């Protein structure tokens, strides 16, 4: 299991702090060049395309966390939740089988670390209703439900 991590210029410092403080995980950072005019979608695409959707996770940071989460969800197989608290991380993993989270660059290091630990350590809820709903999302990505 690896954690793919990326941020635009807004989240640069928080991303570096996370990697420096969470030594128990193997982080893979985006290889795109950063700068004051970089674009968050490209960072989301870069790491989300590279991750193994069944084994790995992505952690994404931009000014609000919203834009980068929208971009991440365009990559087939990614279920990214924009999170603001630990409860949202836990529920996203349990109910939606999230394999990626996004948050604001204004998130504290303490909260960011707790979000990542929750993402990795929370089990998915495999009860029928959650599996059915996640399966519907996967089927849509594969072209089903186009008649809706």
Q: How far is CA 16 from the centre of its chain?
A: 16
What is the CB neighbour count within 10 angstroms for residue 30?
Answer: 22
Query: Tokens representing 112?
Result: 């960011």
Give yes or no: 95 in active site. yes
Catalytic residue check, 62: yes
List the catalytic residue out of 48, 62, 80, 97.
62
The residue annotated as part of the active site, out of 12, 13, 80, 95, is: 95
What angle (nearest 5°) sits at the alpha carbon of residue 23, between those of residues 19 and 27?
50
**What are the residues whose beta carbons fall under 8 Å from the beta carbon of 49, sequence distance 6 or more?**
75
**Annotated active-site positions, please?**
62, 95
């Amino acid at each position: 299991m690896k954690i793919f991590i990326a941020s635009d210029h807004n989240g640069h410092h928080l991303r570096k702090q996370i990697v420096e403080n969470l030594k128990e995980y193997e982080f893979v950072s985006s290889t795109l060049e950063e700068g004051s005019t970089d674009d968050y979608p490209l960072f989301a695409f870069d790491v989300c395309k590279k991750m193994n959707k069944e084994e790995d996770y992505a952690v994404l940071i931009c000014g609000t966390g919203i834009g980068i989460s929208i971009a991440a969800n365009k990559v087939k197989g990614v279920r990214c939740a924009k999170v603001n608290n630990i409860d949202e991380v836990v529920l996203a993993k349990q109910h939606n089988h999230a394999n990626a989270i996004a948050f604001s660059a204004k998130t504290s290091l303490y909260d960011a670390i707790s979000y990542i630990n929750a993402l990795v350590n929370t089990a998915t809820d495999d009860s029928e209703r959650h599996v059915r709903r996640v399966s519907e999302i996967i089927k849509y990505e594969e072209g089903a439900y186009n008649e809706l």
